[in-house]
Amino acid sequence: MDKILRINMGAAGGPQVKSESVGSYAGLGGRALTSTIIAKEVPPLCHPLGEDNKLVIAPGLLSGSAAAMSGRISVGCKSPLTGGIKESNAGGMASQMLGRLGVAAIVLEGKPKEGMLYKLSISKDKVEIKPDNSLKMLGNYAVAEKMKAAHGDKVSCISIGQAGEMKLTGASIAFTDMEFRPTRHAGRGGVGAVMGSKGVKVIVVDDTGCPVRSPKDPGKFKEANQNWVAGLRKHAVTGQGLPTYGTNVLTNVINEAGAYPTKNFMWGRFDTCSKISGETQAETENARGGEGSATHGCHRGCVIRCSGTFYDKDGHYLTKQPEYETVWAHGGNCGIDDIDAIAMLDRLDDDFGLDTIEMGAAIGVAMEAGLIQFGDAQGAINLVKEVGQGTPLGRVLGSGAGLTGRVFGVERVPVVKNQALPAYDPRGIQGMGVTYATSTQGADHTAGYAVTANVLGVGGKVNPLKAEGQIELSRNLQIATTAIDATGMCLFIAFAILDQPETFQALLDLINAFTGAKMTGDDVTALGKNILKLEREFNHKAGFTKEQDRLPDFFKKEKLPPHNLTFLVKDSELDQVYNW
Site for other proteins, rule CB under 8 A = 235-238, 240-242, 244-245, 247, 249-250, 252-254, 256-259, 269, 274-275, 277-280, 283-284, 286-288, 306, 313, 424, 428-432, 435, 445, 447-448, 450-451, 454, 462-467, 469-470, 473-474, 477, 491-492, 494-495, 498, 562-563, 565, 568
Q: Which does 208 bind (CB under 5 to 8 A by kind): ligand SF4, other proteins, none?
A: none
Comparison of 223 and 279: residue with beta carbon closer to other proteins = 279
User: Position 33: which residue type?
Assistant: L
Residue 307 binding result from other proteins, ligand SF4, none, given CB thresholds of 5 to 8 Å by partner type:
ligand SF4
The residue (of 106 and 304) whose beta carbon lies closer to other proteins is 304
Per-residue binding string, ligand SF4, 453-492, x by CB under 6 A, is -------------------------------------x-x
Q: How far is CA 456 from CA 23, 29, 129, 147, in A?
A: 29, 20, 43, 43
Burial of 568 (0-12, 13-18, 19+ CB in 10 A): middle
Question: Least separation, in Å, of the C-beta of 511 and other proteins?
Answer: 22
Region 301-360 residues binding ligand SF4, contact defined as CB under 6 A: 302, 304-307
Q: How far is CA 205 from CA 59, 90, 96, 577, in A?
A: 12, 16, 10, 40
Task: Give the one entry of ligand SF4, other proteins, none that residue 91 binds, where binding means its C-beta sits below a cut-off of 5 to 8 angstroms depending on kind.
Answer: ligand SF4
Partner in contact with 94, chosen from ligand SF4, other proteins, none, beta carbon below 5 to 8 Å by kind: none
> Cβ(268)–Cβ(425) under 8 Å?
yes
26 binds, among other proteins, ligand SF4, none (CB under 5 to 8 A by kind): none
CB of 467 to other proteins, least distance (A): 7
Residue 355 near residue 415 (C-beta atoms within 8 A): no
3 state SS of 561? coil
| 302 interacts with, out of other proteins, ligand SF4, none, CB within 5 to 8 A per kind | ligand SF4
Residues 24-83 that bind ligand SF4 (CB under 6 A): 69
Task: Please give the span between the terminal C-alpha atoms of the chain, in angstroms, as a whole number.
Answer: 33
> Judged by CB under 6 A, how many residues of this single chain contact ligand SF4?
12
Three-state secondary structure readout of 41-73: HCCCCCCCCCCCCCEEEEECCCCCCCCCCCCCE
CB of 176 to other proteins, least distance (A): 25
The pair phi, psi for residue 335, each rounded to 5°, is 70, 25
Binder of residue 258, out of ligand SF4, other proteins, none (CB less than 5 to 8 A by kind): other proteins
Return the closest-CA partner of residue 196 out of 395, 433, 473.
Answer: 395
Nearest residue to 330 via CA among 414, 400, 404, 263: 263
User: What DSSP string describes 15-35?
Assistant: -EEEEEE-GGGTT--HHHHHH
Cα–Cα distance measured from residue 428 to residue 303, given in angstroms and rounded to the nearest whole number: 32
- C-alpha 543 chain-centroid distance: 24
User: C-beta of 184: minimal distance to ligand SF4 in Å?
Assistant: 8
> Using the rule CB under 6 A, is 112 a contact of ligand SF4?
no
Q: Nearer Cβ to ligand SF4, position 302 or 366?
A: 302
The item of ligand SF4, other proteins, none sharing an interface with residue 209, based on CB under 5 to 8 Å by kind, is none
CB of 564 to other proteins, least distance (A): 10
Residue 252, binding choice from other proteins, ligand SF4, none, Cβ under 5 to 8 Å by partner class:
other proteins
- Answer for the pair 184, 171: CB distance below 8 angstroms, yes or no: no
Task: Give 390 or 561: the residue with its C-beta nearer to other proteins.
Answer: 561
Write the DSSP string, 453-501.
HHHHTTTS---TTSTTHHHHHHHHHHHHHHHHHHHT--GGGHHHHHH-H
Smallest gap from residue 310 Cβ to other proteins (A) = 13
3-state helix vs strand vs coil in the chain, percent to 5:
45, 15, 40
Tell me how far, at minimum, the Cβ of 536 lies from other proteins, in Å. 21
User: Taking CB within 5 to 8 Å according to partner kind, which of ligand SF4, other proteins, none is near residue 469?
Assistant: other proteins
Element (H, E) at 416: strand 415-416
Closest contact distance (angstroms) between CB of 367 and other proteins is: 23
Within 8 A by CB and 6+ apart from 262, the residues are 268, 269, 270, 332, 333, 335
Q: Which is nearer to other proteins, 50 or 457 (CB)?
A: 457
Residue 429: how many other CB atoms lie within 10 Å: 17
**Amino acid identity of 475?**
R
* Residue 319 beta carbon to ligand SF4: minimum distance, rounded to whole angstroms: 15
Question: Which residues 6+ apart lie within 8 Å of 333 measured at CB?
Answer: 261, 262, 263, 264, 265, 360, 361, 364, 423
Q: Which of ligand SF4, other proteins, none sits in contact with 568, Cβ below 5 to 8 A by type? A: other proteins
Using the minimum distance from each CB to other proteins, give the nearer residue, 104 or 477. 477
Q: Does 452 bind ligand SF4 (CB under 6 A)?
A: no
Residues that bind ligand SF4 (CB under 6 A): 69, 91, 297-299, 302, 304-307, 490, 492
